[in-house]
């Protein structure tokens, strides 16, 4: 079958300098309950990164939190973009479109506009801002960039997913708040895409996309405002719903290309949490090997929201020994409640 779709040229990653163990993150969060300690230490996470110089305070103002978001997103975003460009051997001035995906803060001008000068992008670069899509946001952002690349063959699109979850720090004893504080982390990842001919690459082509939404579950995942602050919402029902949502996206995506689940060699699954991965593995009949890259990223970084699935794809591409013709599926769950999926081919 001839190669189709948009080529991934490079992936760049960045995390804040502060790296903490789960024990340390428990101390940072300020919990003392034995029940909450068990939750923290049974997440499948060993380390997380935060844009912090000292432990967060429950009395931090919304202004202080949003300043953390802006400073952290700019720092991590610049680092990820530079790493991505360097990996492709391209200059910032080669970029024709910048798509930024983020949900953990709000600024105007947006992060993309603020990155133009420090990154060295052209003053005529096109920009698109994708906000409020949470953990699944990287895939709709990739789809917008792929649409651009297909419509303007040979031009370069750059996607940046950047989240500073520590800017949404909120402390109470509700289960969803505890889970958010136990698994969420800070990080950024960037992709370069083009539809023109490219030399051999370790990364796959993006062949197709599929979304599936259940609006009746709208309140289960996302951000809520409490006392003027953003607060991460992760409903306890998410693991139970994970399979049906992903199946809703996966079935038509594979059928459109005459594929079966057994044709997929690589499963690039956003590690929203160990319970979510367990539910997906059981219901889809996947092996431990199928999800080893997702679990590795979860263990070493936690759930960074939108950038996380891009970390998984980079790990698969570097360490999974993909071969020409291999099929992959990238998928993530997010607010909506939505499942997003992309069909990949090496």
Q: What does the pLDDT read at residue 190?
A: 98
Instruction: Tell me the C-alpha distance between 152 and 9, whole Å.
Output: 16
What pLDDT, in 10s, does the model give residues 17-38?
999 999 999 988 888 889 999 9
Mean residue pLDDT of the chain comes to 91
Same-domain check for residues 24 and 165: yes
What pLDDT does 218 receive? 66
In this structure, what CATH number is given to the domain that contains residue 314?
A: 3.40.47.10
Position 182 pLDDT exceeds 50? yes
At residue 60, the pLDDT reads 86
Same-domain check for residues 337 and 212? yes
Q: Would you say 245 and 284 are in contact if contact means Cβ atoms under 8 Å apart?
A: no
Q: Which of 150, 168, 194 is the last residue of a domain?
A: 194
- Amino acid 240: pLDDT: 76
On whether both 243 and 299 belong to a single domain, the answer is yes
Does residue 117 have a pLDDT over 80?
A: yes
Which pTM does this prediction carry? 0.93
| pLDDT at residue 192 in the model | 96
**Residue 199 included in any domain:** no
The band of 4, judged by pLDDT with boundaries at 50, 70 and 90, is: low
- Cα four-point dihedral sign 253, 161, 321, 269: negative
* Structural contact between residues 89 and 12, judged by C-beta atoms closer than 8 angstroms: no
Residue 187 and residue 110 share a domain: yes
Please check the confidence at residue 244 and state whether its pLDDT lies above 90: no
Tell me what the mean pLDDT of segment 128-143 comes to.
Answer: 95
Confidence of residue 177 (pLDDT cuts 50, 70, 90): confident
The secondary element (H helix, E strand) that includes residue 339 is strand 338-345
Residue 1's pLDDT is what? Answer: 35
Instruction: Report the share of the chain in percent with pLDDT over 70.
Output: 95
If asked whether residues 182 and 264 sit together in one domain, one would say no
Mean pLDDT of 192-211: 87
Angle between helices 274-284 and 292-301 (to 10 degrees): 180
Range of the structural domain that residue 281 is part of:
205-345
Q: Which residues contact 58 (CB under 8 A, 6 or more apart)?
A: 30, 171
Residue 222 inside a domain? The answer is yes
Question: How many residues are given for the chain?
Answer: 346
Which of 17-26, 54-63, 108-117, 274-283 has the lowest average pLDDT? 54-63
Shared domain check, 276 and 229: yes
The CA distance from 346 to 333, in Å, is 24
């Amino acid at each position: 079958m001839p190669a189709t779709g948009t080529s991934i040229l490079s992936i760049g990653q960045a995390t804040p300098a502060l790296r903490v163990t789960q024990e340390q993150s428990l101390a940072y969060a300020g919990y003392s309950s034995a029940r909450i300690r068990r939750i923290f230490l049974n997440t499948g996470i060993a380390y997380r990164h935060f844009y912090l110089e000292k432990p967060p305070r429950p009395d931090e103002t919304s202004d202080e939190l949003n300043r953390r978001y802006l400073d952290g997103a700019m720092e991590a975003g610049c680092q990820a973009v530079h790493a991505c460009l360097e990996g492709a051997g391209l200059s910032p001035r080669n970029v024709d479109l910048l798509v930024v995906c983020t949900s953990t803060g709000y600024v105007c001008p947006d992060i993309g506009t603020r990155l133009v000068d420090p990154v060295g992008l052209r003053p005529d670069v096109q920009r698109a801002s994708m906000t409020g899509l949470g953990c699944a946001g990287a895939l709709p952002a990739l789809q917008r960039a792929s649409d651009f690349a297909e419509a303007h063959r040979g031009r370069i699109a750059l996607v940046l997913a950047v989240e500073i979850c520590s800017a949404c720090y909120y402390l109470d004893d509700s289960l969803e708040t505890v889970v958010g504080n136990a698994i969420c982390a800070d990080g950024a990842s960037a992709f370069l895409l083009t539809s023109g001919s490219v030399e051999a690459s370790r990364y796959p082509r993006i062949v197709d996309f599929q979304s599936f939404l259940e609006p009746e579950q709208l309140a289960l995942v996302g951000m809520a405002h409490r006392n003027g602050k953003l607060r991460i919402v992760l409903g306890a029902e998410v693991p139970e719903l994970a399979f049906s949502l992903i199946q809703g996206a996966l079935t038509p995506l594979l059928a459109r290309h005459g594929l079966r689940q057994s044709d997929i060699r690589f499963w690039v699954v956003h590690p929203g949490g160990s319970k979510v991965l367990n539910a997906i593995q059981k219901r889809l009949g996947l092996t431990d090997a199928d999800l080893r890259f997702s679990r590795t990223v979860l263990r070493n970084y936690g759930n960074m929201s939108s950038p996380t699935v891009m970390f998984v794809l980079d790990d698969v591409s570097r360490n999974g020994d993909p071969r020409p013709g291999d099929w992959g599926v990238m998928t993530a769950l997010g607010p909506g409640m939505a499942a997003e999926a992309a069909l990949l081919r090496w």
